[in-house]
Structures are given as C-alpha cells and as structure tokens.
Amino acid sequence: MGKKTCFIFLCLLCLALFSTVNGLKGQRFDAKLFVFGDSYVDTGNSPRSIAKAWKPPYGITYPGKPSGRFSDGRVLTDYIASFLRIRSPMPYVLNNFNPTFIRYGINFAHGGTGVFPTLDASNQPNMTTQIDFFQQLISKNVYIKENLRSSVALVSLAGNDYATYLAKNGTIESHNELLLENLLSLNKESSAPVFIYLDLYKAFSSALKLQQFPSGNQLLKPCCTGVDGEDCGFVDKNGIRKYVLCRNLRQSFFWDLLHPTNEGWRAVYFALRPSLKNLL
Ligand SMILES: *[C@@H]1O[C@H](CO)[C@@H](O)[C@H](O)[C@H]1NC(C)=O
Ligand SMILES: *[C@@H]1O[C@H](CO)[C@@H](O)[C@H](O)[C@H]1NC(C)=O
C-alpha cells in the first residue's frame, strides 16, 4: 500500500464506539473490558500463521517480543485498560474461561476484520461473529448479569471495511447502523447500555500535531519500513530481513503503514482521555 493510499486510509478510518453498561464512576476497579473489532485493538487473536503481528520486530517495545499486537508495543486496548485501572483483557483465542483468567474481560478483536467481509481477514471472525462469541459465553453463564454491571465495550472499526470498499470499488452499506444494531442486542440482559462514540479521527489529528513527532512529510513515514516491496516483518527464504527500522522509534507516530507505535497510541490515548473522563 502506497503513501497516498495510506493517507486516504487515515482520512477515512477511525470510528470507535464505547459503551458503558452502567454508570462506572467510582467503581472502575471492578471494571471489565470487552473488546471487538480490528488490529487497532487486537492483542493476540490473529492466527500466527497469517499475522505479521506475530513476527519480529513487532512487540520490541512491549512486551519485548511479538505478541500479536500490530505495533512495536501497546495498542489502544492496553491504554484503555490502564484508564480503567485493570489489566489488558485476555485474547479470546486462548480459550481459557476460568474466572480468574477472564476477570478483566475478554478481547474478541481480530486484525483485518470489519463488519462486512474484508480483503485481509479471510476466515477471521467479523464483528457479528465476535459478538456471537460473547453471547455464547453469556448463555453458558461464563459471565452472569452481576459480573457485567461495570463493564465497558470497546469497539474499533478503523478502516478495513473502507479499504475493501476502495479496493473493490463496490458499494458499502451503512455499516455503522449494522454495528449499532449488533451491539444493542449485546447486553439485553443488563440495564440499557449507553453508546458513546469516541472520535478517533480527531484524536489522531491532535496526536499527530504534537511536537514529539516530526512535521511535514516525515510524519506519516512508518518506523518499520519494508524494502524491495515487502512489508514490515518480512524475512526472505535466505533469512534476510526485508525491512528497516527508524533510529528514533519514540519519535515515530506510525509503526507500519497502518498502525501507530506504542508512543503513537499513547498520544492518541492522551487526546481521548478528557472525553473518557467525562463519560466513565
Ligand atoms: C459475518 O460472518 C458470518 C460467518 O462467516 C457470516 O454468516 C455473516 O454473513 C457475516 N456478516 C456480514 C455482515 O457479512
Ligand atoms: C468503479 O467506479 C467508477 C465510477 O462509478 C466506474 O466508472 C468504474 O467502472 C468502476 N470500476 C469497476 C471495476 O467496477
């Protein structure tokens, strides 16, 4: 994907939706975080066999090795969990529903997915399927109503639907509406959820203006850059790395062509924090 496409992508992406099930003020310590969506929030669900997020140099900043996060370090989920003063919720694919293991919630997000079938995601669970996974757990009483009282759902639909639309030149339905419909059925059992949209686009824009990051055309340049037309993380059959890393990772907003660095996400999180504080 070229720089121009990347920029178009940046302009289109970024819808995050937040829902509190009950007033969370003052009880953040018990909070659970349920996460749905794509690579902006995936913390390890994408299969090792297909996701570059499982290859070095992904994860070099945190946790120090590839962890399935599409970044050198933390992604949005990790920062939102820290806001809630809880640990980042376990990836669903670990398939361990022991109460201790899932006390901070579960992350259902899979990189490359959207509401509709996308180019990247092949057979990865789309939004509906991710929500189905959650509903199955509720119907099996893995979580009971009481558990869900102070839970938050974080949804990221950053741009895979749009990218697929652009690539296919097709028509796209109003995926926000479908998403909302899906989510409304999500916590039917508990009291009426409140839906809040966080404007990730705005948060990106203000984060990108920080002095920490370079200005001009260096700004969108990723730290991990593929060479010879390859992608960040690619190693050829002779073991030669087909990517280079920037010198100042901490001053890079983008890690690869589409995903922010640990510092990039930190900056986005700081931009979102005032609205989070107002809402939760
Ligand atoms: C999501 O995936 C499921 C299972 O593959 C499929 O049945 C459903 O049609 C998909 N949803 C959309 C909106 O494409
Ligand atoms: C893409 O859309 C344009 C404008 O609607 C149309 O002229 C063109 O034929 C479309 N291309 C394909 C491959 O569908």
Residue spans of the chain under pLDDT 50: 1-22, 173-174, 189, 191-192
Q: Identify the pLDDT of residue 16.
A: 41
Q: Residues 111, 46: contact at Cβ < 8 Å?
A: yes
User: Would you call 256 a catalytic residue per the annotation?
Assistant: yes
Atom of ligand 1 nearest to the CA of 117: 14
**Please, how many CA atoms are within 13 Å of residue 226, restricted to the half-sphere of its CB?**
16
Does residue 115's CB lie within 6 angstroms of at least one atom of ligand 1?
Answer: yes
Centre of ligand 2 from the C-alpha of residue 114, in Å = 23
CA distance 164 to 181: 22
Q: By alpha-carbon position, which residue is closest to atom 1 of ligand 1?
A: 126
Q: Which element (helix H / strand E) includes 267? A: helix 262-279
User: Would you call 259 a catalytic residue per the annotation?
Assistant: yes
* Catalytic residue chosen out of the listed positions 19, 39, 151, 156: 39
Q: Identify the pLDDT of residue 133.
A: 93
Centre of ligand 2 from the C-alpha of residue 172, in Å = 14
Distance of CA 12 to the CA centre of its chain: 16
pTM of the model: 0.84
CA distance 233 to 224: 8
